[in-house]
Each structure stands twice: as structure tokens, then as C-alpha cells.
């Protein structure tokens, strides 16, 4: 074959391939929350568009409305989303109500193994019933609640001396929950650079999930358990154990003595604002925000550092993060599955981490250079080793809103005791499980 | 329509149709015209109401399509009426209703009375006063949230200027005792102009000759106020109370923006609680029973009130 003939044949094959790809090209819509990692995913997905010929559209909803908007969409059998990065708590409802496509056969056919992902993320983001090998999502975004602090303040010799004088200890990253409170109380109302600053920004939001996500950051390190025996729904003695009561009292003391005035209904946004505006020495928030915080020109870089939620009786962090699922009402399930297949590749996962997403793939997490790849990477690994999640039951919303109410009543509204709040919470949860036929 | 046009329409109407229309009674023609409205009313109001009543006796959850729906009898009603939280929500709603209406009527009437006096620039003042009413409740909620902020909020600074207290020493939205009042203040700020406009209409409807006759009879200004002004404006005032009462009973957006129902549950009005039950917890059957209880309450109270209003109008 001459060179001209070879070139012509290649051109014909190429054109045919392009045409056939175009013929099957789909407009896929991926739904998620509107936050920093979502922007990273848009960037990452450009490669998928180039490779597959499919077009990616994105529907990002602000966090306060995310659950309402997306769960309404799923409950109404809407076709807006072909792919959904849904919260970990939704997995039970997503599976039982038939919103998500079960992915086992697809994983088997494509050689995608859940052993390639961090076990905690597979358990939390993918499986229903919990721990069984029934997969409804691929771990997409590992996340946990962590802390960040003003490194420049912690390293200031005058502040260090004042702390030593006040507590007899060195000012350092807190090693326990009680030390965390002590440091926060030290900074509360202190004047730094001519400005009054406060201890820490914590979650106290009432409407969606804020205060629950915050308070579990104290409950888990104290040893809080939802059930005495997993799967038994026997909560008496677990949910209201003496350790749980102590942890709840601790969180209230933290709120009352070490947070800025007016942070009575604060969540992710308020925490970021408090830190970026130089109001607080420390703040809790999801690891997902840490790349953005580090990049902040005013309070990032060498002024910030990060630490994992400190232990008390044990290590424990509140789980965030999400898995990516194919919505069962989508007419483009094949293309959506293609996206998941592409996303599961180790090299794509590596790029995902590089762009600011939190990969849960072992090839990324176990890479020798991972810990040093970002100032918060080591803390992320440590946090993910000790994460716990809220109930992932189909009735999780009822369970969550009951906890929101009881905890806010006690911590912010100052009503009743910690013991009463947890006793009432058990009553609420028992009623929900009775309605569900599980008790 | 000119006579010529009418003739043309009559000529153009086919004899068969014309005969048919001519054969109909007035009552039948009336039914033909109002039946679309009745159909819409049935479809949009009556059918959902009946369906809601039916759902209120079940454990139905709108987000659990495959789940077996069981008849639970009066259990939803029993649960709601024996739940202490329901009564706390009712109390919060009653507190909000009473004080907002009280302040709005008091201030609204006073403003209307002042604006009604002939003075230079009263049109400008009327426009300025009605501005808050034109804003969206969501915007107003956010706006006042900043005003109430203990560290940077103007409201706290103004209070501290008068009281000498540190602005960050009190939290309007975070305090159990202050948060309900914070909402009352915002609603009053926003809706007093509405009451003022209604009162102004009432005041301007009083003919001058009545006051002139009272002057001739040497009635004092105070006497004129209580024997002429108040009785003649009263039906308007009652109408304003009815409008504001109905609006505030279902108040949602402003409170959600300001406090989200908190701190704890002290500002969780019945409408917020109902929304949580129906569209966050997805307890559809339970929420239906809740809605029916609220409907009966409002309907009962409104009926009594409208009767009283009619009596006042007849006087």
C-alpha cells in the first residue's frame, strides 16, 4: 500500500470512528453541591468529554438547599440528573427506594474492584445494607470534619508566652478535645493586632445538619455509639451513655465559652467567614475546603495549618464525603456508567486529587508521596482512619432532624440537661424505627 | 358593541345553535358559564383537601413509593395533639401573631392619622414609609440578620448607644428570650405600612361634614376621635387585622431566613414545623393530619372573626 493509500484509509477509519462516537454522544448531567471540589470536577471532566465525545453538564446546588433539591428530584423520579454525587446518608434511601442503580454487575464486567478504594469510604459511600457487598455508588469524594488554625498566631512568641503563663503548657496543635477547648478559651476575647479575636468557629446550624455534624465531632472521640449492637437499634445505654452526656456537655461549654458572639446558627460558610476575616484562632470544617483555605492570600499559606479532630477517649472524626451514583430514572445510564468507569481509573483519581478533589482510591492514598503532597494530606489520611457516619437509614432525614432539634435545644437554647436531651433523642429515634417496622 | 355588530352576530349564528341557546333557562346558562370555575375549584381546592383528609389517617410517606400504606386511624391526630412540641409551636405562633398585629395596628393607625393631617411633603413620607412592604421577605430576613449581628450589626450598636451595654453582650437571634421579639420587630417594620395604608383609606373615607357638625356641637377633639374617627375606621382596622392575621399564621420565609426556627425551637412556628414534617422528614400522613388541624383552627377562628366584622359593619 502506498503512503497516499494508507493515509486515505486512515482518514476514512478516523472519520468513521468520529462519526460513530458522535452518533452515540450524550448530554450527561451530573448533580452535586456547589462548592470548591465541584469546580475541580468540572475541570477534570473536560478530559472525559474529550475522550468519550459525551458532553457534561453540571447542576450544582448550594449546600443549604442541596438535600431538599436533590431528594425532591429523586423522590419525584426526575430525569434532571444522570449522575448524582449524593450525601453518604442518602445511600440507604437511594437503594431501598430504587433511586440508584445497583452497580455490582457493572463493576464485575468492567473489572472495577472495591478493594481498590479505602475500606471506610466503600463502607460509608457505597454499600447498602451497610457492610454488605451491594454497591450503589463509587467512592467519589472522601471527606471528614477537621480543624485549621492561625499558625502565625500559634507561633507568635508573645502569644506563646501568654499561653504558657495562663495554662503552664506550650501552645501547640491540640492533642485532645479538652486541650482544644483550653486553647480556644485562651484566645476568646483576646486582643491580637489591635483587634478582639475569639477561640473557634464550630457548627451550630439548626435547619439542616450543621449542629449534628459539629457535635458528633465531640461525641465520637468520647466513644459515642448509635447502638449497643450494630443493626439491633438498641440505643438505650449507647446514645445516652455517660460518655455521650459528658461529650455533649463539653460541646455546650465550647459553644458558650469559646466561640464568637452571634454564631448561633452557623455552618460551613460561617466557619470559613470567621476564619478568613481573622476573627477566630481555630475553626472546624470539612477537609474539602482545605485546598481553598490554603490558597487564600490573606489567611492561607504560611499563616494556616491543619489538624485532625483531636481524640479524647479514642480517635474519632465525623464523616463527610460522597459517592457517585447512576440515577435509575436517567435515560442515559450507559453513558453515565461510562463516566464512572472513566472516573475509577487510577490516573484520573490522581488528577482528581491534584485538582483539589479528595480521591478515595488506594493508588492515590498509598502513594509514598501522598502525605507530603499537601499540608493537610497526612491529617486527611489520619481522619479517614477514624471516621464515623450518622445513621444511613432510609429514614435518615427524620433521625437527623430529631437530633438537630434536641441538640440545638440543649446547646444553643439552653433548655434542659444533656442527659434529658439524649434521652429525648432516643424516644424520637425509637418512634421513627417503630414506624419503620424495625423495632 | 354597536347595534349593527349585534345584528351581524345574530345573523351569523347558525339557526340550530340559536334555537338551542334560546331553549335554555337562565339558570342553565349560568351553570354553563360558572362550571369551568367550579371544576377548577374542585380540582385545585376541594380534591386536595379531601385527599389530605384521607392521607391523614395513614402512615403514607411520599418519598417511599414502594412502602405499604397502612391505615392508622386517629393515631396521627393523637400523636400531634399529645405532643408537647406541637403546643410549643402553637404558643410561638400565637405570640408572634398577637404582638405583630398589636404593634402593626397601633403604629399603623398612628402613622395613618399623622399622614392624614395636611402637611407639606406627606406624599413623600407615605412613599418612604411603604418602602419596606415592597421588599421580598427573604431579602428583608437577610438584611435584618446582618443588622442583628452582635459584632457588626447596626441594631446592637443603636441599642448599646441608648443602654450603655456592650453591643456584643446580647444576641437578638441567638437568645431564647430575644429571638421571638427580633422577629416581631422585623415583621412590624415590614408590614406596618400595609396597615397604615388601609387605615389611611378609612380615615379619608370619613366625610368632612361629620367633623364640621361635631365642631358646631362643640365636641372636643378627643370626643371626635373616639365617637367619629375610631368607629368609622374600625371596619377597616378589622379588615387589616384579618389580612395580617391570615398572612402571619402562615409566616414562613422571614422566620426561616432570620432564625431557621431556632434557637432550639423557640421560633419554630407551626408553618415551619409543618414544612419540616411534610418535606424534610417526609411524614406525609402525619403532616396531612397536622395540616387539617391547622385548617380547622384557622377556619374556626376566621369564621368567628368575620361574623364580628359583619356586625361592626352593620352598626
d(CA A148, CA A22): 47
Region A76-86 average pLDDT: 94
The top-level CATH class assigned to A26-143+321-388 is alpha beta
Q: Which residue has the cell 447596626?
A: B154
Predicted local confidence at residue A10, as pLDDT: 53
Summarised one tens digit per residue, pLDDT across range A374-419 is 999 999 999 999 899 999 898 999 999 999 999 999 999 999 999 9
Size of interface A-B (CB pairs under 8 A): 89
Is A20 a residue whose pLDDT tops 50? no
Pairing between strand A280-286 and A27-33?
unpaired
Residue in chain B nearest A265 by alpha carbon? B259
pLDDT of B8 > 50? The answer is yes
- Residues of chain A positioned with their CB less than 8 A from the CB of B266: 413
* A140-184 confidence digits (pLDDT tens): 999 999 999 999 999 999 999 999 999 999 999 999 999 999 999
- Using a CB–CB cutoff of 8 Å, tell me whether A405 touches chain B: yes
Here the ipTM equals: 0.81
Rounded mean pLDDT, B122-151? 91
pLDDT of residue A22: 46
What burial class does residue A276 get, using C-beta atoms within 10 Å of its C-beta: 0-12 exposed, 13-18 middle, 19+ buried? middle
Which chain B residues touch A409 with a CB distance below 8 Å? Answer: 264-265
In the predicted structure, residue A102 carries a pLDDT above the cut 50:
yes
Is A126 within 8 Å of A136 (Cβ atoms)? yes
Q: Is the pLDDT of residue B177 over 80?
A: yes
- SS3 state at A203: coil
Q: Mention every residue, 6+ apart, whose C-beta is less than 8 A from residue A322.
A: A32, A85, A86, A87, A88, A125, A137, A140, A141, A143
Return contacts of B111-119, CB within 8 angstroms, 24+ apart: B111/B192, B111/B193, B111/B196, B111/B199, B112/B195, B112/B196, B112/B197, B112/B199, B112/B200, B112/B202, B112/B203, B113/B199, B113/B203, B113/B229, B115/B196, B115/B200, B116/B200, B116/B203, B116/B204
Yes or no, beta carbons of B259 and A435 under 8 Å apart: no
CB contact B142 to A (< 8 Å): no
Q: Where is average pLDDT lowest: A124-133, A211-220, B17-26?
A: B17-26
Of the candidates A33, A26, A29, the one whose C-alpha atom is nearest the C-alpha of residue A322 is A33
Residue B128 has pLDDT above 70, yes or no: yes
pLDDT of residue A340: 97
pLDDT tens sequence across A173-193? 999 999 999 999 999 999 999
All structural domains of chain A with their residue ranges: 26-143+321-388, 145-318+395-435
Give the pLDDT confidence of A270-292 residue by residue, as tens digits.
999 999 999 999 999 999 999 99
Hey, is the C-beta of B151 within 8 angstroms of any chain A C-beta? yes
Q: Which residue of B92, B146, B279, B280 is the best one to mutate when testing the A interface, meaning the one whose CB has the most A CBs within 10 A?
A: B280
Min Cα–Cα distance to chain B from A284, Å? 20
The pLDDT assigned to B64 comes to: 82
Q: Say if the Cβ atoms of A412 and B171 lie within 8 Å.
A: no
Give the separation between CA B310 and CA A356, rounded to whole angstroms.
Answer: 67
- Using the beta-carbon criterion (under 8 Å), do B168 and A415 form an inter-chain contact? no
Check residue B151 and report its DSSP letter.
Answer: T
Q: Does the pLDDT at position A13 exceed 50? A: no
What is the average per-residue pLDDT within B223-227? 93
- Cross-chain Cβ contact B260/A68 below 8 Å: no
Residue A28 DSSP code = E
Q: Which residues of A touch B173 (CB under 8 A)?
A: 262, 264-265
Pick the CATH number of B77-313 from 3.30.930.10, 2.60.120.10, 1.10.3720.10, 3.40.640.10: 1.10.3720.10
Decide: B58 and B71 in contact? Cβ < 8 Å: yes
Q: What is the pLDDT of residues B32-91, one digit of tens each?
A: 999 999 999 999 989 999 999 999 999 999 888 778 899 999 999 999 999 999 999 999
Q: Cβ A401–B66 below 8 Å, yes or no?
A: no
A68 C-beta neighbours (distance < 10 Å), count = 15
CB spacing of B282 vs A398 below 8 angstroms:
yes
User: B132 and chain A: CB distance < 8 Å anywhere?
Assistant: no
**What are the structural domain ranges in chain B?**
3-55, 77-313
Q: Taking a C-beta distance cutoff of 8 angstroms, is the pair B216, B132 a contact?
A: no
Mean confidence (pLDDT) of chain B: 90
* Residue B119's pLDDT band (cuts 50, 70, 90): confident
The answer to whether residue A68 neighbours chain B at the CB level (below 8 Å) is: yes
* A238-277 residues touching B, CB cutoff 8 A: 260-265
Can you state the angle between helices B284-314 and B230-249, rounded to 10 degrees? 170
Name the pLDDT band for B309 (thresholds 50, 70, 90).
confident
Max CA distance (Å), chain A: 90
Residues of A in contact with B264 (CB under 8 A): 206, 405, 408-410, 412-415
Domains A26-143+321-388 and A145-318+395-435 share a fold: yes
Span B153-163, pLDDT tens digits? 999 999 999 99
**Using N-to-C axis directions, what is the helix angle for A36-52 and A333-343, rounded to 10°?**
110
The answer regarding whether domain A145-318+395-435 maps to CATH 3.40.1710.10 reads no
Amino acid at each position: 500500500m502506498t503512503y497516499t493509500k494508507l493515509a486515505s484509509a486512515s482518514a476514512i477509519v478516523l472519520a468513521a470512528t468520529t462519526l460513530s462516537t458522535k452518533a452515540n454522544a450524550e448530554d450527561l448531567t451530573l448533580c452535586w453541591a456547589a462548592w470548591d471540589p465541584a469546580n475541580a470536577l468540572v475541570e477534570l471532566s473536560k478530559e472525559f468529554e474529550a475522550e468519550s465525545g459525551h458532553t457534561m453538564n453540571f447542576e450544582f446546588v448550594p449546600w443549604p438547599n442541596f438535600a431538599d433539591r436533590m431528594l425532591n428530584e429523586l423522590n419525584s423520579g426526575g430525569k434532571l440528573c444522570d449522575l448524582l454525587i449524593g450525601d453518604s446518608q442518602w445511600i440507604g434511601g437511594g437503594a431501598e427506594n430504587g433511586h440508584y442503580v445497583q452497580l455490582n454487575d457493572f463493576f464485575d464486567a468492567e473489572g472495577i474492584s472495591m478493594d481498590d478504594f479505602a475500606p471506610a469510604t466503600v463502607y460509608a459511600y457505597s454499600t447498602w445494607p451497610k457492610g454488605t457487598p451491594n454497591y450503589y455508588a463509587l467512592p467519589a469524594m472522601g471527606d471528614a470534619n477537621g480543624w485549621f488554625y492561625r499558625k502565625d498566631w500559634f507561633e507568635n512568641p508573645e502569644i506563646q508566652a501568654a499561653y504558657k503563663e495562663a495554662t503552664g503548657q506550650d501552645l501547640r496543635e491540640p492533642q485532645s478535645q479538652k486541650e482544644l477547648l483550653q486553647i480556644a478559651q485562651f484566645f476568646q476575647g483576646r486582643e491580637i493586632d489591635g483587634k478582639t479575636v475569639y477561640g473557634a468557629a464550630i457548627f451550630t446550624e439548626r435547619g439542616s445538619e450543621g449542629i449534628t455534624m459539629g457535635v458528633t465531632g465531640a461525641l465520637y472521640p468520647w466513644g459515642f455509639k448509635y447502638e449497643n449492637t450494630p443493626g439491633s437499634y438498641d440505643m438505650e445505654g449507647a446514645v445516652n451513655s455517660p460518655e455521650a452526656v459528658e461529650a455533649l456537655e463539653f460541646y455546650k461549654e465550647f459553644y458558650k465559652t469559646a466561640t464568637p458572639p452571634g454564631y448561633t446558627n452557623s455552618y460551613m460558610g460561617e466557619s470559613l467567614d470567621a476564619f478568613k476575616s481573622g476573627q477566630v484562632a481555630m475553626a472546624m470544617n470539612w477537609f474539602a475546603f482545605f485546598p481553598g483555605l490554603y490558597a487564600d492570600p490573606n489567611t492561607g499559606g504560611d499563616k494556616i495549618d491543619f489538624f485532625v479532630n483531636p481524640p479524647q477517649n479514642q480517635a474519632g472524626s465525623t464523616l463527610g464525603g460522597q459517592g457517585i451514583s447512576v440515577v435509575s430514572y436517567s435515560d442515559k445510564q450507559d453513558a453515565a456508567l461510562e463516566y464512572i468507569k472513566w472516573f475509577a481509573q487510577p490516573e484520573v483519581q490522581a488528577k482528581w486529587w491534584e485538582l483539589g478533589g479528595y480521591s478515595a482510591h488506594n493508588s492515590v492514598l498509598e502513594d509514598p508521596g501522598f502525605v507530603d503532597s499537601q499540608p493537610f494530606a497526612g491529617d486527611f489520611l489520619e481522619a479517614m482512619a477514624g471516621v464515623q457516619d450518622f445513621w444511613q437509614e432510609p429514614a435518615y432525614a427524620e433521625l437527623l432532624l430529631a437530633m438537630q432539634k434536641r441538640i440545638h435545644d440543649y446547646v444553643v437554647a439552653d433548655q434542659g440537661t444533656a442527659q434529658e436531651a439524649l434521652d429525648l433523642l432516643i424516644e424520637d429515634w425509637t418512634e421513627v424505627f417503630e414506624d419503620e417496622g424495625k423495632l | 358593541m354597536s347595534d349593527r355588530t349585534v345584528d351581524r352576530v345574530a345573523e351569523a349564528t347558525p339557526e340550530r345553535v340559536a334555537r338551542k341557546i334560546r331553549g335554555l333557562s337562565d339558570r342553565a346558562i349560568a351553570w354553563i358559564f360558572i362550571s369551568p370555575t367550579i371544576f377548577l375549584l374542585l380540582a385545585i381546592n376541594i380534591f386536595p383537601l379531601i385527599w389530605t383528609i384521607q392521607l391523614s389517617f395513614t402512615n403514607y410517606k411520599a418519598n417511599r413509593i414502594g412502602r405499604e400504606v397502612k391505615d392508622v386511624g386517629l393515631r396521627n391526630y393523637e400523636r400531634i395533639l399529645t405532643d408537647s412540641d406541637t403546643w410549643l409551636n402553637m404558643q410561638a405562633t400565637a405570640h408572634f401573631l398577637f404582638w405583630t398585629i398589636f404593634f402593626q395596628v397601633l403604629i399603623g393607625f398612628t402613622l395613618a392619622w399623622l399622614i392624614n393631617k395636611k402637611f407639606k411633603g406627606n406624599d413623600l413620607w407615605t412613599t418612604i414609609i411603604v418602602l419596606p412592604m415592597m421588599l421580598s421577605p427573604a431579602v428583608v430576613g437577610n438584611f435584618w440578620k446582618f443588622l442583628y449581628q452582635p459584632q457588626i450589626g447596626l441594631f446592637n450598636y443603636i441599642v448599646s448607644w441608648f443602654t450603655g451595654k456592650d453591643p456584643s453582650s446580647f444576641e437578638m437571634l441567638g437568645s431564647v428570650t430575644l429571638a421571638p421579639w427580633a422577629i416581631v420587630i422585623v415583621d412590624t417594620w415590614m408590614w406596618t405600612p400595609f396597615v397604615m395604608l388601609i387605615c389611611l383609606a378609612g380615615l379619608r373615607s370619613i366625610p368632612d361634614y361629620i367633623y364640621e357638625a361635631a365642631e358646631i356641637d362643640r365636641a372636643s377633639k378627643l370626643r371626635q376621635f373616639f365617637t367619629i374617627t375610631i368607629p368609622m375606621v374600625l371596619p377597616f382596622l378589622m379588615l387589616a387585622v384579618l389580612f395580617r392575621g391570615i398572612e402571619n399564621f402562615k409566616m414562613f420565609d422571614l422566620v426561616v431566613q432570620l432564625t431557621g426556627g431556632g434557637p432550639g425551637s423557640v421560633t419554630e412556628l407551626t408553618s415551619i414545623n409543618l414544612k419540616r414534617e411534610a418535606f424534610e422528614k417526609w411524614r406525609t400522613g402525619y403532616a396531612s393530619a397536622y395540616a387539617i388541624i391547622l385548617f380547622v383552627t384557622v377556619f374556626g377562628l376566621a369564621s368567628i372573626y368575620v361574623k364580628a366584622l359583619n356586625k361592626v359593619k352593620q352598626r
